[in-house]
Structures are given as C-alpha cells and as structure tokens.
Structure 1
Amino acid sequence: MSQEIESKDIIVTYDTLFEILRNEKTKEDLQKLHDTFFHDATNYLNEKQNILNDNKDQKGLFESDEKEKTLHQIGNIKKILTDIYERREKKIINMAVNKSRYSSNIIDNSALLDEEKLFYEMIISLLDSQRDKILDKLLKGQHFTKPEQTETKEEFKPADEIPKEESTKLVRFLTAVPQFMGEDMLEYGPYEEEDVSKLPIEIADVLIKKERAEEIKEN
C-alpha cells in the first residue's frame, strides 16, 4: 500500500495520513513517501486551520458543530503527523547506527525524504566521531583523554560568552538544502544555492564534507 501512496500524486487527506501511519507502525523498514510529503502535509494542516479561522465568528448551532468537528480533526491530524515523524525518526537513527557500525553500502536509504537526509548524515558523522574518540582508542589500549579544562573562575567562559568565531563557520551553500534540525535541537534553513550563513562548526563540517557547502575564510 505504501508503494501506491508514493507512486500516485495523492493529495494528503486524513485517510492517507492514517494509512501512512499504519504502514510505519506495522513495517520495520522506513516507508517510501511522496517527495513532497512534508510540504503537502503542511498545506493540508493549514487548509484545515483556515477553515476554522474563517468560521470563528459564526454563531449558529450548525456552524458551532462544524467548528468543533474541525478543531477535533486538527488535533488528530497533529497527533498523527507527530507519530509519523517520531516513528520515522527512530528508524532513521537505527539506520545511521548500522551505517556507522558496519560501514555498509547495503543499507537502503532510498526512502529518506530530502528533509531527513541531512539529519541522517549528521547522526552518522557524530557516531563515527565518537567511535574514533572512544572505541578505537579502547581497542588499541589507549586511554580516552578528556579535553583540558581550566578550573580557575577567572578563565572560565560560559557558552553564551564564547566568541562566535570559535564555535561557528561561515559557509556558502553549493546546493539548495531544506530545513533541518541540528544536534542543538534548533531548526536551520531552508537554504538556497549561493546563500551564505554562519553555522555551528559541527553542522558546517557535515555540509562541507557532503559537498553541499564550502567554507568562506574570514579575515
């Protein structure tokens, strides 16, 4: 059924959302969705919200019943979308763990939507980095060394007082990148080709490594 949802240009409805959720619940693999799923789902939710807003001043009993019905449906739509997102999120994390552990090319990531690809790549990068820092040293009989920290209060700098240049990189985007969530749980983007932005070093390094952006050296 999920293949049918992907192959046809089906407008998002309550029934199609419920079917997508059912597939994500019952099937282990990440399910293929239409490339514009997030865009279409956003439009569908906005349409329902507009219906509610257009009728907010209506006083009749029929209009009141319709408003309650629409309000209830909006709540259900948000719950379904959240459930779809979180189930896909868990599957993507598991895919990234397997990719990092086994460096395997047999992991099928074709079901990733554009909005999910950078999230997947960032998790792999983080896991690879941790594996290099801890597991590889452990297997070589080397102790993990914590970064040196200054204990004197005079030299301690809270995160929000660290100069931005120390924790960010200025990059130019080489391709369009959809909105994504970083490791700091903040949303970034969307970005268009040739856009310039300062980003946290970890995010910038992933984008540069994937050839989606290039660093701009600041004088």
Structure 2
Amino acid sequence: MGNDNLISYEELRKIQALERDNKTLYKIDDTFFNRVKEYLAIKKKLIEQNKNSDNIFAKESVFTAEIELKNANKIIVDLASRRVRKIVMQALTNIYSRAHDTERMLNFEERFYYKILEELRTYIETFLSNFDESKQSLEIKKSEGEFLLIRFLEDVPKFAWKDGNDYGPFGKEDVANLPKEISEFLISQSKAVLMEVEDN
C-alpha cells in the first residue's frame, strides 16, 4: 500500500470524533486497519532509526512521533470500546426484531452482533422457562415465528430472503437462531446442521 493511502494522525482523531459524536456506528471502510497498521509501523520505524541521534531535529521528530504513537493507540482502544458498546446496545434493542441494520458494521462486527443476539435470546428464554406463566407467554412468542438453532458448516455471505430481510454474513462454525424456513433451506443445501437444544 502506498503512502498516498496512509492514514494521518489528524484523520484518526477525526474518525474518533465522528464515532464519539454519533449515536450510530461510523462507517469504517475495509482499508482502515491496514492503513492504521502502516501508520503505526512508520512511526515506530522513525523512532527506532533516530532515537540515538544527536541531531536536534531528529530528537524533535522522535519526541513528536512518540506522542503521536501513544495517542494513536489510545484512540484505537477508544474506538473499539465505543463501537462494541453501540453493537451491544443495538442487539439489546433488537432482540426479537426481524429487521437488523448492519450496514455500518464491518464483517466481523456483524458476526459478533448476531452472536450477541443469540446469547441474549438464549438467556431470556432460559430465564423465563423457569416460570410457568412465562413459559406460556414464551410459547406464544415462538408461535408468532418459529426459529431453529443451526450451526454453519461453511462461510455464507449476506443474503436476502423473501421476507424482505437480509441475513448474514455467517462464518464457518457460527451458531444462529434463524426462521425455520431459512434454517431448513440452509440445512438442505448442506451449509448448516440443526443444533439440538435441551429443555430445562
């Protein structure tokens, strides 16, 4: 990757500000990680090459690079923290929703989001299943749209279903609780297998 695509410290701070000031995820493009890694590598190389120099300008460049490197790492951690909070909150809000806006998520974030949804649904259903009255309401909820828990045998890209919703992408060994019709289709195509869930 050439230096024309190298991210700058100012751009990194701008992305942090956009992530901080918006309730929704800031859309990061697929080149972000490589650009940041190259930026960090260049700063580290500059420091290593000039750290023992007696030249006043070299010393100043090392001092500046060290500050930028330290702050850049803080920004990266802050970005990760803010994004994971937003993803978790979105999952909490959309536990039983059939429409999920994952347009601004990176591929691994989208897989993480759907895994959180499954864990949240499993927790709620397990919790409610311990109460007789809740069991009845849970069965009503399930009857509105039956789901099957499946495990993927291969990577499956995002796809549109006839209900008008998009599903995926899913990675090999991912577990998902999908509408019965979709689950049965994926199983019939040998892309997934049904997972048995033990009743309490």
TM norm structure 1? 0.58
Q: Provide structure 2 residue ranges, at least 5 long, that are not aligned to the other structure.
A: 136-150, 158-170, 194-200
Q: Compute the displacement of 1:113 (Å).
A: 0.8
* 8 Å contact kept, 1:23–1:31: yes
> Does 1:13 find its partner at 2:8?
yes
> Distance in 1 between the 2:132 and 2:19 partners?
38
Q: Compute the displacement of 1:176 (Å).
A: 9.4
Q: What amino acid does structure 1 have at the position aligned with 2:48?
A: N
Residue correspondence of structure 1 range 70-219 to structure 2 within 5 A: 70-100=65-95, 102-105=96-99, 107-138=100-131, 140-141=133-134, 174-175=154-155, 204-206=173-175
Post-superposition, which runs of at least 4 consecutive aligned residues in structure 1 deviate over 6 A?
A: 207-211
Q: What amino acid does structure 2 have at the position aligned with 1:37?
A: F
> Distance in 1 between the 2:39 and 2:97 partners?
39
Structure 1 pair 96–135 and aligned structure 2 pair: CA distance change class (3 A):
same
Q: Provide structure 1 residue ranges, at least 5 long, that are not aligned to the other structure.
A: 1-8, 143-170, 178-192, 195-203
Percent identity of equivalent pairs: 25
Q: What amino acid does structure 2 have at the position aligned with 1:138?
A: F
Residue correspondence of structure 1 range 22-101 to structure 2 within 5 A: 22-100=17-95
> Distance in 2 between the 1:94 and 1:127 partners?
11
For residues 138-177 of structure 1, the C-alpha deviation after alignment (integer angstroms, 9 at most, x for no partner) is 37356xxxxxxxxxxxxxxxxxxxxxxxxxxxx9973399
Q: What amino acid does structure 1 have at the position aligned with 2:175?
A: V
Q: Compute the displacement of 1:92 (Å).
A: 0.6
Which residue is equivalent to 1:199?
none
Count of matched residue positions in the alignment of Structure 1 and Structure 2: 152
RMSD: 3.3
TM norm structure 2? 0.63
